[in-house]
Structure 1
């Protein structure tokens, strides 16, 4: 009886520590991806880089971020997660410090790839720990909220704060932020994966439903292909409709606020038996927003579409990820999910750009493709729900 009485508070305390870890690391680690527009101008100015070189650098960073999944198959269940967090955070700090000192583009690429591999490795830990909490939807909601909040802060502060500073100042600021992450590493249970109860042979709860897992993975991949494809070109859709740049920027800022609010709503709701309903509603909203972008939407229609799109996207994401975490008590399913996210992010803009170009500048083909991707993702994630 005594053991039972103390188990719940211990679990709650452990979850609070995990939530803190997720919040701090997700805000800091995604900063470099969020300030890409700020860094791009600095790199071109300071190193004399071409747009192709800058694009290559960011593609390598994003690729390394998701490819960190591959080595994680080897270490994730074998290493103490606190030790792994300290090691990878130290690499992120060192990588950002070195990035500020190098004056050769080749060396900069190497430094950025190594830094992103370490940051991606910590993301694998975040996703895995989120699925281990008593309320995975809330944990994934925190993961999304703090990325978006930091993104909004960065876009508001960084351009003016670093207007006259060299790119090294930005990288060193990122290193300083990463140092702060070290303060929350001890909030997690480093042995949570290694001390998990051994599976009982033949027990149904220990089996990963292969079809549902495959459907869930495909849902995540298609979701990210669709959203990254549309969001990458949403400003161009606005311009193609003759909407003024300042008005378009204001709309996208409001959409970002809407995204933060919806992620907060998902975080507050947390794990719920109505997850299937919430997912269906979120996907319906996302599909509606894409439909509203067809043709040449006027300002009000474009604003409604952009706000609904961002609101729906960030509302869906915590429940999409918690669906995957519910399918297996192991770590590797969430590890693979990180690979699906990175792959989807990479494929979306490339395919959308090709469809726009092949359509002679029309966005219709791209929007049809995105709409099909959203509907297919919705069908797959509903099939992946565990009864």
Structure 2
């Protein structure tokens, strides 16, 4: 860490991590993850509410959905506020708010009350994520920082899914909210060690001007489709395995292993960043996504199910790191990065709803998998358009500096 000379004209009391270092990326990742950590441990939360509070599957699912839809609303608010507020005080206030609501949630046993409390929790959490994404957009290499973010989320999410279900029978559902409180407290302790991250200066040449609406639209649409399709599969991935004849214990083991293997995806983004541009990495990785999704058709084979989960997990983290990094490139203040976070949450909330309707209508998993393959192809075509444009602009800027 290096001391920052001043903050708003006053000496800093804390040493700060170098603005664009890996350490700073980790600190920012904890800040962003704190607002949405419950999504990473959603399976544990839903199971804990059912087994610990005696709620029905539908009630527990609705509480989880309320949290996510609230987060989408909070992210939308962040798009409006990111240019007008000081991010550090806003982040601290949001973290304190999350802690207070999680403490309150410990004492609530009524599902109809808890759903509104968690909705409000989601709004504050979404606002924090939107602010964090806006700050990440101000770093020198947002793609790499988003890679760090997803690495942290996958790693801690896997740990939470492994440990929390074992704690609920012993300590009750309160263990879930205590875990969220501890994570928020840890994130709160990290905030003072972050640098200032003022809005990036306006860029010259091909990237100058206001928000680039057309490539941004393509990027946001790609984020929505990619997240919706992935979450539609993930929400029912246990049922898919069991339907194809796999044992529940093996399915759980495969998913746990896949969560850790998936760390390779964002890890690769951390290592290579945009060294090879964005077009070709996305083109190749989306090819692997299609292959992994097609492999789910053979889920009756244990190896096929495991490989498909590991492969799609790796590509999920890698593609989202690039897409969120791309979204951050279309203005200097961080608004478009916050917009990427908003659209991502809408996609995550929409996918399971659509997949559930397909299954309820009597169609099988073959229909869901084939629909996923088609939408992944569409998403690939859409995301490659702004990726190629950003690669060209980067080459123009590089040529201008030589």
Same fold by TM-score, threshold 0.5 exceeded?
yes
Counterpart Cα distance in 2 of 1:297 and 1:54: 29
Look up the SS of the partner of 1:132 in the other structure. coil
Counterpart Cα distance in 2 of 1:306 and 1:191: 37
* Structure 2 match to 1:351: 354
Q: Select which of 291, 295, 303 maps to 2:294.
A: 291
* Structure 1 match to 2:330: 327
Q: Select which of 239, 243, 260 maps to 2:242.
A: 239
Q: Select which of 15, 39, 43 maps to 2:20.
A: 15
- Unpaired segments ≥5 residues, structure 2: 1-14, 393-402
Counterpart Cα distance in 1 of 2:380 and 2:270: 20
Residues 218-267 of structure 1: CA distance to partner in whole angstroms, max 9, x if unpaired?
A: 10011011111112222222222212222222222222122012221221
* Structure 2 match to 1:368: 370
* Structure 1 match to 2:396: none
* Structure 1 match to 2:113: 107
Counterpart Cα distance in 2 of 1:376 and 1:303: 26
Residues 193-342 of structure 1 correspond to what in structure 2 (within 5 A)? Answer: 193=199, 196-197=200-201, 205-294=208-297, 297-342=300-345
* Structure 1 match to 2:158: 152
Aligned residues of 2:139 and 2:197 also touching (Cα < 8 A):
no
Structure 1 runs of 4+ aligned residues shifted over 6 Å read none
Alignment of 1:129 with 2:140, yes or no, is no
Deviates most, 211-220 or 361-370: 361-370
Deviates most, 167-176 or 152-161: 167-176
Pairwise CA RMSD: 2.5
Query: Structure 1-normalised TM-score?
Result: 0.89
Change (3 A) 1:198 1:244: closer
Counterpart Cα distance in 2 of 1:330 and 1:48: 46
Query: Structure 2-normalised TM-score?
Result: 0.86
Aligned positions, number: 374
Look up the SS of the partner of 1:96 in the other structure. helix
Counterpart Cα distance in 2 of 1:157 and 1:43: 15
Counterpart Cα distance in 1 of 2:46 and 2:358: 25
* 1:318 CA displacement: 1.0
Deviates most, 62-71 or 44-53: 44-53
Change (3 A) 1:315 1:46: closer
Counterpart Cα distance in 2 of 1:103 and 1:237: 31
Aligned residues of 2:95 and 2:184 also touching (Cα < 8 A):
yes
* Structure 1 match to 2:68: 62
Counterpart Cα distance in 2 of 1:42 and 1:141: 30
- Unpaired segments ≥5 residues, structure 1: 1-9
Counterpart Cα distance in 1 of 2:47 and 2:319: 33
Counterpart Cα distance in 2 of 1:384 and 1:303: 33
